Amino acid sequence: MIGYDRQKRANYFHFDEIGKWKKQGWISDAEYRMLDEKLMPRYDSTNFFIRIGLFLLTTVILSAGIGFGGLLVSGIISNSNAWFFCLMAAGGCITVLQKIVIEERNQFRSGMDDAALYGGLQFIFLAFFLLLEDIFFNDPLMISVFCFFFFLVPTRIYLDRLLTAITVFSAYAIFFFALDKLDGLWAAPFLMMAVSAIFYVASKKAIDNTKGLAHEECWWVVKWIAIVMFYAAGNCFVVIELSVELLGIADSSAVPFKWLFYIFTVLVPAAYIYFGLQKKHLALLNIGLLAVAVSVFSIRYYHNYVPIELILIIGGLFLIAIAWLALRYWKTDRKGITIKPDEVADQLIVESLIIDQTLGVQDAPSGFEGGGGKFGGGGASGEF
């Protein structure tokens, strides 16, 4: 059998879920232990950091193993038969994944299976590439179609979230390049928004009638991407720059429906935040907040009458004011929303590193860069 065992995988998720209930204090220790025994057999649970370590080490093993094999056949390998050895390597990875990692070691989402799966796919892809390079690997539309089906199959089998994301992006690429073939690129923003809307509705349906938590998580990935892409497709910066680039419009003021995209750029993030709070939808709220920042910079890119420091100060004051209002409004829980944390301790340490990274003061002798030089970036570069 290829893929994971359904019952074990389902129990893995159920066990994860009851762990959360225990943390919330909804079930007692005794109940937890009772359910722990009932939810057998299941795949082993792993911690996030251990998962990174196992992923790295498995990658080392597979690379060294394949390097070892490559060294053995280095005398007979050539341009015409390289695809065969790629398939051998892929076969090796997938066999390791199925026989050792999944069946023998009972691993699911532990880093080991991820590494073996991605390694195997990489070599299958390489084999296809070597075989079919001359036939269709020069047409973006064909590549997109190929990628879509190539990644759809393992996505269906292993229900992996990264593969889901690649598949969804391939689908977007198919629509985009198909439109290009039809000379209809001016309609691309509208088509992308429509596709995102379809993905959103499809994912919502799939999540409502969930067939299991592994499926559900993949559909959540689709949903997040749909939300992001819907905003990106209507963002004025993306549209104007791509129009100039791809439609050959020399002057950015001549982009068709420009005013419409400005409206989208302002309204979509606001709508995301509003509905995110109203429907308690974490994805909408998170992306909405990010989109606000992106929108500010997109619009400023074309309308920079105001100097940067004023934008920073006004923006900063505005954000602080918003937070202040939110803190006042939610002094007590209202409308099912709270400002109290779910879980705190660990994340505060991450936050302290991000603060150090973005507000840090390195140029100390003159001390002048302190707070002055390093702003923005949202602190995404913290290497925790």
Site for another protein in 108-137 (CB under 8 A): 112
Closer residue to another protein, CB minimum distance, 61 or 178: 61
Residues near another protein (CB under 8 A), total: 110
Closer residue to another protein, CB minimum distance, 188 or 287: 287
In the region spanning residues 34 to 73, those forming contacts with another protein, defined by CB under 8 A, are 34-35, 38-39, 45-50, 52-54, 56-58, 60-61, 63-65, 67-68, 71
CA distances for 263 relative to 231, 234, 235, 260, angstroms: 12, 9, 9, 5
Pick the piece of the chain touching another protein (CB under 8 A) from 121-129, 148-156, 157-165, 279-287. 279-287
Helix 258-278 and helix 282-302, axial crossing angle in degrees, nearest 10: 150
In the region spanning residues 195 to 224, those forming contacts with another protein, defined by CB under 8 A, are 210, 212-213, 216
In the region spanning residues 84 to 113, those forming contacts with another protein, defined by CB under 8 A, are 112
Question: How far apart (Å, rounded) are the C-alpha atoms in residues 277 and 337?
Answer: 8
Pick the piece of the chain touching another protein (CB under 8 A) from 90-98, 128-136, 176-184, 375-383. 375-383
Closer residue to another protein, CB minimum distance, 44 or 139: 44
What is the dihedral angle through the alpha carbons of 342, 343, 344, 346, rounded to the nearest 10 degrees? -150
Q: Which two tokens stand for residue 33?
A: 């232990």
DSSP string, 3-51: S--HHHHHHHHHHHHHHHHHHHTSS-HHHHHHHHHHS-S-PBP--HHHH
Question: How far apart (Å, rounded) are the C-alpha atoms in residues 272 and 240?
Answer: 22
Sort residue 248 into left (φ over 0), alpha (ψ -120 to 50) or beta.
Answer: left
Residue 320 lies near another protein (rule: CB under 8 A): yes
Closer residue to another protein, CB minimum distance, 25 or 248: 25
Nearest to 232 by CA among 275, 261, 273: 261
| Spatial contact of 178 and 145, defined as CB atoms under 8 Å apart | no
Q: How far is the CB of 287 from another protein (least distance, A)?
A: 12
Pick the piece of the chain touching another protein (CB under 8 A) from 17-25, 127-135, 178-186, 245-253. 17-25
Residue 348 lies near another protein (rule: CB under 8 A): yes
Residue 153 lies near another protein (rule: CB under 8 A): no
Helix 112-136 and helix 82-95, axial crossing angle in degrees, nearest 10: 160
Q: How far is the CB of 296 from another protein (least distance, A)?
A: 10
Residue 256 lies near another protein (rule: CB under 8 A): no
In the region spanning residues 350 to 369, those forming contacts with another protein, defined by CB under 8 A, are 351-362, 364-369
Residue 381 lies near another protein (rule: CB under 8 A): yes
Q: Which two tokens stand for residue 256?
A: 């068709």
- The residue type found at 176 is F
Closer residue to another protein, CB minimum distance, 77 or 337: 337
Pick the piece of the chain touching another protein (CB under 8 A) from 82-90, 157-165, 220-228, 322-330. 322-330
| Spatial contact of 22 and 43, defined as CB atoms under 8 Å apart | no
Residue 76 lies near another protein (rule: CB under 8 A): no
Q: How far is the CB of 16 from another protein (least distance, A)?
A: 9
